Structures are given as C-alpha cells and as structure tokens.
Amino acid sequence: MNILDKIAARKREEVAFLKEEVPAESLQLLPHFNRRCISLKENLKNSSTGIIAEFKRRSPSHPEINLEADAATVTAGYETAGASGISVLTDEEFFGGSLDDLAIARETVKLPLLRKDFMIDEYQIIEAKAMGADVILLIAAILKPDEIKTLSKKAKDLGLEVLLEVHNEEELKNAIFDTVDMIGVNNRNLKTFEVDLQTSKDLAEKIPNQFVKISESGISETSAITELQKSGFKGFLIGGNFMKTEDPGKSASEFIQKLK
C-alpha cells in the first residue's frame, strides 16, 4: 500500500471513532461554527505575491522539519510577513499537527486559514468550520468524483471555500465541479514524494480559468514563482522552505519582500 492510501485508511478509522466521541451536533454549537469566513480566493486574486504559508512540523517525506514549532508564533510571523493566507496541517499521526494548532492560528491571525488534512467525510468539514477554518482541501487522489462533489457542496453550504488538489490530468478531468473555488497542482507526488515544478507548468493550461490556480510544494526560490506566474498561477503554497528555518515568519517576510 502506498503512503497516501495508508493515510486515507487511517483517517477513515480515526473519523469513525471521533464521530462517536464528539457528535457533529455538538461541534455545531461551537462559536466559530457561525463565523463568517474570509475569502482566500479574493486575497489571491488581489495579491501580486499570493503566498500561502504553511504551518507544518513534519511530514512522511521530511520527518523533522521543525518539531518544536509553536503555532501562535509562526502564524503571527506569517501574517506580519504579508502572506495571503495560512495553511495549517491538522493531521497528527503523519504530520504532527492538530486541530488545536488550527484553533490557535484562528485566535492569532485575521488571514484566511486552510485546514490542511485528508478529508474523506463531511464530519471533518463540520470540524474545520467549528475550529475557525475558511478553506478546506480536497485531494483528488484519495476521493472518487462523486465524493468530491458531495464534500465540496457540503463545504460551500457551510460558507467555506474549497481548494481541490490534483497531481495529473486524469485527476483534474474527473474533479471539475462548480462547487470548487481553487485548483492546486501538487508538485509532489504524494505516492512517491518526488517533486517537480514542471507538473504545475504542464497542467496549468488544462485548468479552466474560472478557478484560481495554485502551485503547491517544493517551492524555495522566488524565481520559480515568477515562472509559475507566467503559466497563470496566482497562489503558491510554501511549507518546508519557511518551516525548516529558526524563524519561519522572518524567512517568509524576506521571501515576500524579494518577490515584490
């Protein structure tokens, strides 16, 4: 079994358990559940830089990025740096994140927050909303087209935006629904961990222009962004390049200044 299938299988077990422990009805009583979301899509459209900075302690491909990182310090730094949005990894087992990190980020910044996780059930979307997220991620590689359709509709019904992640043309073709706001091309193959920015450049023209286009993973140079902008990308998801440094906010700030 590849790592992605393994994570998705674990996620199903985890969600089945959680649903019993904390029923969706009780999540809907939390204060953020009725909060009005902030649009990442609009922020990206209106930005000349479009950086979505990610809070990530570790990953299966990089087991020790920044294990002690503190969500409040890092997300505050990202906001000061001028990021357009912040992505918070909430998977615990494989990425060392938590919903608490998301809640802390929500208390700390005004920027739109993406809950970065492996969403396979509507329950997780209710959770995302209740913890203060503005955007959810749907990964085409682990979902059937009808699942993408129902999960994205659920998110829209709750006022959340939807970022759909694809890695190849096949996934893209089967995943185009008008309940999706943004399409992200992951330059990292989540099954093999190989990274190639050419993946974004190749897929760009195949993504209909109604979607804001985001290039994800493996970005460490501002020159790469200038190139990707020429292909039509408006958003750039960057994690490791910032998180691996002692002061991710400072590193994001220098990067964004250089890009301007």
Q: How far apart are the first and last CA of the chain?
A: 43
- Write each residue from 121 to 150 as x if it is in contact with ligand IGP (CB under 6 A), else as -, in one continuous string: ------------------x-----------
By beta-carbon proximity to ligand IGP, the closer residue of 43 and 241 is 241
Taking CB atoms, the residue at the shortest distance from ligand IGP is: 239
Q: With contacts defined by CB under 6 A, name the span among 71-79, 200-208, 214-222, 224-232 that binds ligand IGP.
A: 214-222
Binder among 165, 166, 175, 233 for ligand IGP (CB under 6 A): 165
Q: Does the active-site annotation cover 152? A: no
Q: Min. distance of Cβ 23 from ligand IGP in angstroms?
A: 26
Q: Which of 84, 217, 241, 253 is catalytic?
A: 217
Q: Let me know if 217 is a catalytic residue.
A: yes
Crossing angle of helices 222-230 and 248-259, in 10° steps, is 50
Look up 147 and say whether it is catalytic. no
Residue 50 touching ligand IGP (CB under 6 A) = no
Q: How far is the CB of 56 from ligand IGP (least distance, A)?
A: 6
Q: Which residues of 113-141 are buried (b: 16+ CB within 10 A; e: fewer)?
A: bbbbbbbbbbbbbbbbbbbbbbbbbbbbb
Q: Which amino acid does the sequence have at 39?
A: S
Q: What residues between 101 and 120 interact with ligand IGP by CB under 6 A? A: 116
239 near ligand IGP, judged by CB under 6 A: yes
241 interacts with ligand IGP by CB under 6 A? yes
User: Any catalytic annotation for residue 165?
Assistant: yes
187 is catalytic: no
Residue showing tokens 């759909």: 164
Q: Is 171 noted as a catalytic residue in this protein?
A: no
How remote is the C-alpha of 12 from its chain's centroid?
19
Q: Kindly name the residue from 11, 56, 129, 234 that is annotated as catalytic.
A: 56
Catalytically active residues are 54, 56, 116, 165, 186, 216-217
